[in-house]
Structure 1
């Protein structure tokens, strides 16, 4: 068993990527990630594949494509920011409050 990370500074060509997303990849059990299409430079796509089942679609916009005035303010480094209610952290047999 092993893993492989593909990184590139160029976007994928949609007509070449689509067949790859649809075909069976021998030896690949699971794959997941984000991708960039040449025809949609401001947007990011996602894919997730387990066994023979694959899903892919629009994930959102790249931060670099959003004007700075519209970006949320980021918390200071080292500060964990979460908006999670205590009940959402409940696990069977464990109490968080």
Structure 2
């Protein structure tokens, strides 16, 4: 019985210690989705604005974050929205909005 309790305690401690690493790893994967695109291959800001507008986003601001274009604005429902795009392909990488 003591061996079972000891094994369970060790397993719980190990999982607790590794939890922050798995969260950081997930964030790293998000950053890598945009890759390490050379600046000469990036879409222009005007092209990015056109892409976002075509998706129904009223663009307020375009920034660069973690190697991605980050477009802030409002969606068709008027809610605030932030969308990250791959700077070379224009592919949507992530979206964050007011719910």
Q: Which has the higher helix share?
A: 2
Whichever of the two has the greater Rg, that structure is 2
TM-score for the superposition, normalised by structure 2: 0.26
TM-score for the superposition, normalised by structure 1: 0.26
